[in-house]
Structure formats: C-alpha cells, structure tokens
C-alpha cells in the first residue's frame, strides 16, 4: 500500500508542476485522497453485514471488528436469540376427537439443548404423560376445570422431533401445540408459573413474579366455541400457532421481558364462556 501510494504521489506531483494551480488542486484531490485516507476503524456499525476490507462484521454487536469475535458484549446484554424471530425455531399443532393419545411431529429435528414447550389439554381431565422429543418432560402448570390447559417443558437432546401426550381416562377431545426455543438455560429454566379459570372477562392466569432478567413469558388461554380472543395486554405479544377443534379454541402468545418482576397478562373473549389460562416464564441465557 505504501509503495503504490508513493508512486501515485510522484505522479501527482509531476502532473501538478505542469498545470495551473486549479488543475493542480483538482488532481491532488481526486488522485491522491485514497492514499492519504485513514485506515478503516473498528467499532463502526455494519447494519447490512458488510464492512470495509480488513474488517469483519461481528454477529454479537453488529459492528465492524478486526475479528468477528473481538466485539465486547456487555455482561447484561440480551442473548442474540432473544429477538422473537430468532428465539422460536419451529412449532407444530394437532388435535383429535375421542382419543387417548395425540402426537405432534415438528418439521425438523430439534437442536440439542434447545427447550421444547408443549401447551395442550385433554378435555376429560389431566394429562398423565408427555413423552418424546428427546426430552425429559416436566409439568409447569395446569388448570382442568372448564376447557383445560396444561404447559409442559423439557430440554431436548435432538434425537426426536415427535412429542406425544397421553391420558388414562376414557377417550376425549385432545389438542396440543409444540414449539422449539433457543437461548434458554437448559437446566432449571422455569422462572414462574400460574394458572386460573373462570367464566367472565377479562381472562387472566393471575400474576407471577419472575426472579431473573431476560425471561421468555408465555400466556395461553382456552375456551369453548364459538368464541375469539383479543390481543393480550399489557405489553406487545407475539402469537403462536392457535388450535381450533370442533368445540374449543386454544391461543398462546409470548414476549421477552428484560427486567424481573410481576407478570399478569390478560385478554378478552368475545362471548362469556368458561375458560382456562396459564402464564409461564422461562429463563434466557445470561
């Protein structure tokens, strides 16, 4: 770079000695500015993922760095996967009438150490088993008075994409949604859960108090048809895939919270009917 610049400077000087001061100034500006420009500096933003030659765009901070791993990440930063588009990896739903078991197969095998979450119900009572998905499942919360809702979770080893729920009672309507999430702690991810039931508006699962910053909060509601839900409040929520059976409706939503404290979402239904609701928080990786 230095040798090339030296040649260009000599060429500029040679031409400038033979031209007027105006031409001399123009040539110096156009022909030599590149050689006197400073080297690209680290730390500049790379919103399009492109950096000057010699620098790399760091995925951690979206800035240009000498090496992508050089960018400093604040200790309290939200994980990269904490944006809704990245946190949830895939999801699937299923429902059937008069069955004792029901399964959902995700579009692809989940990644090891990701969290699988099952939201579903058996209309005649509590689920007795949740299995598959390469996970050991735990019940986070349930309410089985009217339309029923249960939330189960497990960290997958990536060996299976199929999750099955079962019951010991007589055959009845069943429904379930399964979702895969990244960026959550694989051990002890549950940070709070509560469920409730009633027949009047608004629908609320009650309140939970999270103990950790950067949580994934899920809110689910079920009710009998014909019916519909508004969007939850307070805050902005993203809807998961809903389920509409012959007789019941299940909707679920999620949001990322970045401070610990009370979480008490609520939603309205269009027609007064017996409902169930659950709110659950899972810890994001620090």
Which residue stretches of the chain have pLDDT < 70? Answer: 1-51, 53-86
Q: How far apart are CA 188 and CA 165, in angstroms?
A: 22
Summarised one tens digit per residue, pLDDT across range 81-104 is 344 445 999 999 999 999 999 999
Which has the closest alpha carbon to 125: 149, 144, 142?
Answer: 144
Q: What is the pLDDT of residue 52?
A: 72
Q: Give the whole-angstrom CA distance, residue 248 versus residue 193.
A: 23
Report pLDDT for 13.
52
Asked if the peptide bond before residue 202 counts as cis, ω within 30 degrees of 0, the response is: yes
Q: Can you point out the beta strands (E) in the chain?
A: 56-57, 64-65, 88-99, 101-105, 115-122, 129-132, 138-143, 149-155, 162-166, 172-181, 190-198, 203-204, 208-210, 215-224, 238-239, 243-244, 248-257, 261-263, 266-267, 275-283
pLDDT in tens, 10-68: 544 544 454 443 344 343 333 433 433 344 455 666 554 566 766 666 544 456 655 43
């Amino acid at each position: 770079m230095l040798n090339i610049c030296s040649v260009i400077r000599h060429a500029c000087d040679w031409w400038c000695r033979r031209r007027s001061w105006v031409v001399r100034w123009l040539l110096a500006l156009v022909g030599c500015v590149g050689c006197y420009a400073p080297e690209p500096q680290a730390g500049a933003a790379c919103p399009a993922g492109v950096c000057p030659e010699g620098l790399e765009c760091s995925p951690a901070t979206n800035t240009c760095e000498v090496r992508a791993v050089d960018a400093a990440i604040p200790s309290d930063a939200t994980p990269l996967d904490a944006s809704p588009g990245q946190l949830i990896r895939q999801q699937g739903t299923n429902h059937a009438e008069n069955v004792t078991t029901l399964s959902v197969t995700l579009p692809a095998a989940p990644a090891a150490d990701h969290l699988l979450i099952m939201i579903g119900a058996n209309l005649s009572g509590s689920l007795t088993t949740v299995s598959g998905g390469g996970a050991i499942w735990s019940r986070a919360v349930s309410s089985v008075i009217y339309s029923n809702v249960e939330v189960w979770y497990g960290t997958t080893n990536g060996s299976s994409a199929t999750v099955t729920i079962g019951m010991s009672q007589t055959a009845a309507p069943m429904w379930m949604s399964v979702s895969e999430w990244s960026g959550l702690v694989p051990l002890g991810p549950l940070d709070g859960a509560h469920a409730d039931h009633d027949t009047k508006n608004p629908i609320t699962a009650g309140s939970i108090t999270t103990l950790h910053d950067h949580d994934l909060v899920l809110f689910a509601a079920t009710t009998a048809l014909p019916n519909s839900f508004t969007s939850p409040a307070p805050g902005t929520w993203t809807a998961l895939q809903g389920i509409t059976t012959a007789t019941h409706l299940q909707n679920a939503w999620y949001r990322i919270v970045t401070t610990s404290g009370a979480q008490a979402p609520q939603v309205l239904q269009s027609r007064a009917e017996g409902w169930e609701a659950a709110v659950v928080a899972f810890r994001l990786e620090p």
